[in-house]
Amino acid sequence: MSRIFVAGLGAVSPAGWTVAAMRQALDAGTPLPAEPLDQHRQKPLLGRMVPKPPSRPEFLSHPRLRRASAITHYTAAATLEAAAPLLSASSDARFGLLVCLQSGCVQYSCRFYDETLRNPATASPLLFPETVYAAPASHVAALLKNVPSVNSLVGDPSSFLQGLSQAAQWLDDGNVDACIVAGAEEAHWITADALWRLDRMASISAGAGALCLCRDAELSIGVELAAITDGHTYVGKRGRTAAARAMREQLTSSSGNGSGELLCDGLGSGWRAGGPERAAWRDWTGPRLSPKLVLGEGLMAGAAWQCVAACDALANRRFTAANVSLVGFNQQAAGAKFQGVSDFCRNQT
Amino acid sequence: MLFPTTLPSRTHACVVITGAGIFTALGGGWEENAKGFRAGRSAFRPVSLFDVSRQRVKTAAEADLPSTLPKTSLDDRRLDRLDRAGKMLLLAAHEAMEQTGWESGGNVPIVLGTTGGGMLFGEAYFRCAVEQSSRQRGQAVRAVCYQPQVQARLVMEALNFSGPITTVSNACASGSNAIGQAWEMIRSGRANRAIAGGYDSLCEMVFSGFDSLQALSPTICRPFDAGRDGLALGEGAAVIALETLESARQRGARILGELIGYSSSIDMHHLTQPHPQGTTTQAVMKSACASAGVTPEDIDYVNAHGTGTLLNDSAEAAAISEWAGNHGPELPVSSTKANVGHLLGAAGAVEAVVCLMALREQWLPPQLAFETPDPACRFPVVHAPQDAKVNVVLSNSFGFGGVNASLIFRRWT
C-alpha cells in the first residue's frame, strides 16, 4: 500500500475560521465561552458557537451556497483551507471528498419538520433538500469542481477515521490525486438537549475540520499518516471500556506509554462520557492535548479537530509523532497515528 | 489495522452473493417479493403511519410489519430500541444470514445505506422536546437510537456478528453505494466477507419534503411514461451477504449471483436535478461496465433508477439511450419503483435483490401502468410480465446531491 501524506489542514471552530485561530485557542488552553442556544428552553442549553468570519468568505458567492446551511459553510471553509496548497500547486488535481457527520444538517431539518407539524402545505421546499446528510458534500464538490469520488459517512466521531482509511484506499487505487476528509457539525438547541441527557457537563459546539491527503511526499506539510487501528465496535459483551483498551493497545503497541509522542485525546468537560477513554490512557506519561476542553463537544467536527490539531503540532515540529484517540459514543473506538516527515525522507520518496 | 493494510497483492477476487433478504410493501422475504415483482404487482395504499390529511398526496407503498419478529439474540427491551426502519433491516438481514449460513460470532464488516436511520425516533424526540412537557420519558433512548450506527449495531448484535459498521448516506444512491463499497472491500482483499444493504422507513418529515417539492405523483407512479407526474414513496430494507468465491466454495454455499462491476461519481449540475443529458449517469454506467469487463451489448436488462419524475427520467432515458447505442432497441429497461415506490436509502439494495431474482429465475419485472414511452427512451420499457434469458444486469441509483452509482450482476450457473 502507498504511503499517505498530509498535504493540508483546515478548521472552522468556536475559535475562528482557520487552523491558526484554533491553534491559538488550544495553546491558550482556556475554555472558550459558551452562550445560550435558545432563550425559550426550560433547560440552560449552552453551546460554543462559531464566530462570524472576519470578512465574508468568497465561496459564499457561489450560486450553490446561497441557501446552504451553516454546516455546509463550515465544511466548505475547512475544505478550501486544507486544499489551498494543492489548488495553488496544480489547477487540474482530481480530488476525492469524504464528508463525515453525526448529527448532520440539523438546523434545516428541525426547521423543516417544525413547519411540517404546523402545516405541511406551507412547509418550504427550499429547506428540504438541504436537510439530507449528502448536502454539504454535494455543495463542496461543486466548489472544488474536479471531484470524481464523493462519499458521505454517518456515524459516531470515531468513524472519521473510517473516512481517512477510505481516502487512503482511493489514493492507493489511483482514482484521485488528493483526497479531502472533512468532519462537520452545526449547533442547534436540539443537539444540545440530546447531549444534556447523556452527559450534563458537556457543552455542544460546531464547526468543521479537514485533512487533505496525498501520495506525493513533496506536497506534504511534513506529516504522514502512519496507522489507523481497527474499529473496535461495541457489540455483545465488548462495551466502551474494553473497546477503548483494545484500541489503545493496538495503537501504541510499538511506542508504549508516551515516549515523546503527543496524545490528542477526545476528553472534554463531561466526566461520564470520558470514563472509558480516561481509563484506557491512564498510564500515558507523554504530552497530551484535549481540544474538546477548549472547543467543546463538536461531535464529528471534534474528531476532525483532534486530527487537525495532531497534524498541526507535527507540521510545526513540536513532536515527532502524534496519536489520536477516538472513543465514540455508541459505535466503536478507533485510533490513528501520524508522524513527522523529515526533509530527508521527503526528498527520498 | 485499517491502515496500512497488509494485502498480499491486488487480488481482484471474484465476489459472489450467498444470501439475500428483502422486506418491502409487497411482503417479507424473497419468495413473496419475487412473486409480486414478477407479476408487476403494485403495493400503494393510503398512508396510515402519520397524518397526511393536509398533504397534497396521501398514498405510499406502506409495508405491513409482522406482529412478531424472528427470534434473535436481542431481548424485548433491546428490540424496542429498533424503530420501524431498524425492524425492517433486521427482517432482511435475518433472511440473508439464514440463507448464507455463515457461522455466528464472526467478525464481518457491515456496510449499510440509509437516509434517515431511526428517523421515527428522531421525529418523536423533536415533538416531545418542542412540547417542553414535564413528561420527557424515553428521550434519552430516542436521542441515542435514532442514529443509524445504533440501529446497525443492534442488528449485528441480534445476529451475533461483530464487525466494523460503515453507514453511507449519499441520499437515494446510498444502498447501491453500500453494496459497491462492500464489493470493493472484498475484491481488494481487505475482507473475505461482508454484509451490505440499505433500509429506510416512511416518515412524516421526508414525506412532507417530497410533497413540498411537488415531486410526489398525485396519480400513479409511471417511470419513463410520457404522462408521468411524479414519484411515489415506499419503505423497506434489503441485505445481501457477499463473499469471495473461494470462501463460498469452501463452504459449499448456494450462490445467488455474482457482483462483477461497480462505479460511482457525482453529478454537480444541481443539488436536486440531474444534468438534462445525464452525462454523469452515462459515465458511471461506462465505468461500471469497464470494471466488470463487459460492454453495453452484454447487458440483458437495466433496472433503472426511474423515479417517475419529469427531470430524472428524461435525463436517465437520455443517458441509457446514449450509453446503449445500437443495443438500445433490444435492451429491456424497467423501474421497480412503479411497484414498491422509492425506498430512498434502501432503493439500491432492494433493486439489487430484484436483479438477483431476475437472474436466478429468468424473468423481467414489469411496470403494468406504463402506457406511452417518453420520447427520450430509445429502449423498450418492460410493461408486461415476461420470462427472459438474463445473464448480466445493470442497476442504477442516483441521489439528491448528485451521487450516481451503477452495479452490475451476473447470473451464476
Q: Domain check: are B240 and B274 in the same one?
A: no
* A154-158, A343-347, B173-177: the lowest-pLDDT one: A343-347
- When pLDDT is cut at 50, 70 and 90, the band that residue A345 belongs to is low
Identify the residue with better confidence: A32 or A270: A32
Mean predicted confidence (pLDDT) in B180-188: 96
Among B74, B271, B291, B311, which would you mutate to test the A interface (most chain A Cβ atoms within 10 Å of its Cβ)? B271
Residues 304-333 of B with CB under 8 A from A: none
Q: How confident is the model at residue B68 (pLDDT cuts 50, 70, 90)?
A: very high
- CB-nearest to A150 from B5, B115, B403 is B403
* Domain co-membership, B220 together with B273: no
The domain boundary, picked from B208, B229, B251, lies at B251
Cβ-Cβ pairs closer than 8 A, A with B, add up to: 208
pLDDT at res. B60? 98
Give the integer Cα–Cα distance in Å for B364 and A261: 61
Q: Who has greater pLDDT, B339 or B10?
A: B339
Which positions 52-91 of B are in contact with A (Cβ < 8 Å)? 54-56
pLDDT at B9: 57
Domains in chain B, number: 2
Task: Give the per-residue pLDDT at A94.
Answer: 96
Cβ count within 10 A of residue A31: 17
pLDDT at position A338: 98
| Percent over 70 (pLDDT), chain B | 99
pLDDT in tens, A287-301: 999 999 999 999 999
Looking at residue A349, its pLDDT comes to: 47
| Annotated catalytic residue B342 | yes
Q: Could you tell me the pLDDT band of residue B10, with boundaries at 50, 70 and 90? A: low
Angle between helices A240-251 and A271-280 (to 10 degrees): 40
The reply to whether B275 and B365 lie within a common domain is yes
Q: Are B405 and B288 within one domain?
A: yes
Judge if B66 and B190 occupy the same domain: yes
At the fourth CATH level, which superfamily is domain A226-348? Thiolase/Chalcone synthase (3.40.47.10)
pLDDT of residue B133: 74
Q: What CATH number has the domain bearing residue B343?
A: 3.40.47.10
Dist. CA A326–CA B181, nearest whole Å: 23
Same domain membership, residue B84 and residue B164: yes
Catalytic annotation, pick one of B342, B355, B377, B383: B342
**Structural domain contains residue B230:** yes
Least confident of A196-200, B39-43, B279-283, B303-307: A196-200
B117 at interface of A, judged by CB pairs closer than 8 A: yes
Over 60: is that where the pLDDT of A344 sits? Answer: no
Q: Give pLDDT tens digits for B93-131.
A: 999 999 999 998 889 999 999 999 999 999 999 999 998
Mark whether B268 and B245 lie in a shared domain. Answer: no
Q: Both B22 and B157 in a single domain?
A: yes
Residue B281 has pLDDT above 50, yes or no: yes
**CB-CB neighbors (< 8 A) of A249 in chain B:** none
Cell triple for B97 = 444470514
- Residue ending a domain, among B199, B230, B251, is B251
Average confidence score pLDDT of chain B: 96
**Does the annotation count B383 as an active-site position?**
no
pLDDT at A257: 74
CA atoms of B178 and B317, how far apart (whole Å): 25
Q: What is the mean pLDDT of residues B389-407?
A: 96
Structural domain boundaries enclosing B170? 15-251
Is there a single domain that holds both residue B223 and residue B371? no
The pLDDT value recorded for residue A168 is: 97
Cα distances (angstroms) measured from residue B319 to each of A3, A89, B272: 38, 35, 17
Between A66 and B404, where is the model more confident? B404
A1 contact B CB<8A? yes
Of the residues A111, A132, A170, the best mutation for testing chain B's interface (the one with the most B CB atoms within 10 Å of its CB) is A132
pTM confidence score: 0.97
What is the distance in angstroms between the Cα of A72 and the nearest Cα belonging to chain B? 12
Helix (H) or strand (E) holding A339, with range, is strand A332-340
CA distance B355 to B411: 10
Hey, what's the torsion of the CAs at B185, B188, B190, B195, to 10 degrees? 30
User: Phi first, then psi: what are they for A213, rounded to 5°?
Assistant: -105, 150
Q: What is the mean pLDDT of residues B262-281?
A: 92
**The pLDDT value given to residue B275:** 93
Buried-state track A276-288, b at ≥16 Cβ within 10 A, e below 16: bbeebbeebebee
Asked if the structure places residue B199 within a domain, the reply is: yes
Has residue B3 been placed in a domain?
A: no
Identify the band that residue A266 occupies on the pLDDT scale cut at 50, 70 and 90. Answer: very high
Mutate to test the interface with B, among A75, A112, A126, A154 (most CBs of B within 10 A): A154
Domain presence at residue B4:
no
At residue B260, the pLDDT reads 98
pLDDT in tens, A110-127: 999 999 999 999 999 999
**B10 interface with A at CB cutoff 8 Å:** no
Report yes or no: A242 at the B interface, CB cutoff 8 Å. Answer: no
Angle subtended at Cα B263 by Cα B262 and Cα B264, rounded to the nearest 5 degrees = 135
pLDDT classification of A253: cutoffs 50, 70, 90 = confident
Residue B311 and residue B180 share a domain: no
Q: Is A35 on the interface with B (CB under 8 A)?
A: no
Residue A277: what pLDDT?
97
Residues in chain A: 349
Asked whether the bond before B375 is cis by omega within 30 degrees of 0, the reply is no
> How confident is the model at residue B25, as a pLDDT?
98
Q: For residue B210, which of B57, B403, B405, B54 has the smallest C-alpha distance?
A: B57
Which chain B residues touch A141 with a CB distance below 8 Å? 266, 268, 402
Q: Which of B206, B232, B251 is at the close of a domain?
A: B251
CA distance A25 to chain B (A): 31
Mean pLDDT estimate for chain A: 94
Query: Per-domain residue ranges for chain A?
Result: 4-219, 226-348
Is B403's pLDDT higher than 50? yes
Catalytic one among B94, B145, B172, B355? B172
Closest Cα in chain A, distance from residue B360 (Å): 31
Q: Is residue B10 part of a domain?
A: no
Q: What does the pLDDT average to over B173-194?
A: 96
Minimum distance, in Å, between the CA of residue A279 and any CA atom of chain B: 22
Tens digit of pLDDT for each residue in B223-242? 999 999 999 999 999 999 99
Which pLDDT score is estimated for A320?
95
Residue A48's DSSP bridge partners are A205
Asked if B166 and A162 come within 8 Å (Cβ–Cβ), the reply is yes
Same domain flag for B238 and B272: no
Residue B9 lies in a domain: no
Domains A4-219 and A226-348 share a fold: yes
Please check whether residue B171 lies inside any domain of the structure: yes
Domain A4-219, architecture per CATH: 3-Layer(aba) Sandwich (3.40)
pLDDT at B8: 59
Inform me whether the C-beta atom of residue B162 falls under 8 Å from chain A C-beta atoms. Answer: yes
- Indicate if B302 and B165 belong to the same structural domain: no
